[in-house]
A = this chain, B = another copy of it.
Amino acid sequence: MSTLRDIKIIEAILFASGEPVSEDDLKDKIVKKSEFNNYIEEIKKHYENRGINLLKTGKKWSFRTSDELSEDLVIFKQQKRKLSRAALETLAIVAYHQPVTRSEIENIRGVQMGRGSIDHLMEIGWIKPGVRKNIPGKPTLWSTTDLFLEHFGLENINNLPNQDELKASGFLDKRAAIATITDLAKNDILDSKIESDEEEEKLEDFIPNT
Chain A 12-29, CB-CB to B under 8 Å as 1, else 0, gives 110111100000010001
Chain A 182-206, CB-CB to B under 8 Å as 1, else 0, gives 0011001000000000000010011
Contacts of A63 in B (CB 8 A): 15
B165 touches A102 (CB 8 A): yes
B153 touches A145 (CB 8 A): yes
Contacts of A128 in B (CB 8 A): 153-154
B73 touches A118 (CB 8 A): no
Considering residues A51, A154, A207, which has the most beta carbons from chain B within 10 angstroms of its beta carbon?
Answer: A51
Option from B15, B25, B102, B119 in Cβ contact (under 8 Å) with A65: B15
Could you say which interface size class chain A belongs to? 35 or more
Is there a chain B Cβ closer than 8 Å to A117's Cβ? yes
B158 touches A132 (CB 8 A): yes
Is there a chain B Cβ closer than 8 Å to A69's Cβ? yes
A8 touches B50 (CB 8 A): yes
B116 touches A131 (CB 8 A): no
In the complex where A15-B51, A17-B76 touch, is A66 in contact with B169 (Cβ < 8 A)? no
Is there a chain B Cβ closer than 8 Å to A72's Cβ? yes
Closest CB of chain B to A45's CB: distance in Å? 12
Expressed in whole angstroms, the Cα–Cα distance for A206 and B205 within the complex equals: 12
A sample of 17 inter-chain contacts (CB < 8 A) reads: A1-B49, A2-B49, A3-B50, A8-B69, A11-B50, A11-B52, A12-B52, A12-B69, A13-B51, A15-B63, A17-B75, A17-B77, A119-B171, A130-B159, A139-B165, A140-B159, A188-B206
Given contacts A130-B155, A145-B153, 14 further A-B contacts (CB under 8 A): A7-B51, A12-B65, A12-B69, A13-B73, A16-B76, A18-B18, A25-B76, A29-B72, A129-B165, A140-B161, A140-B165, A184-B205, A185-B206, A206-B207
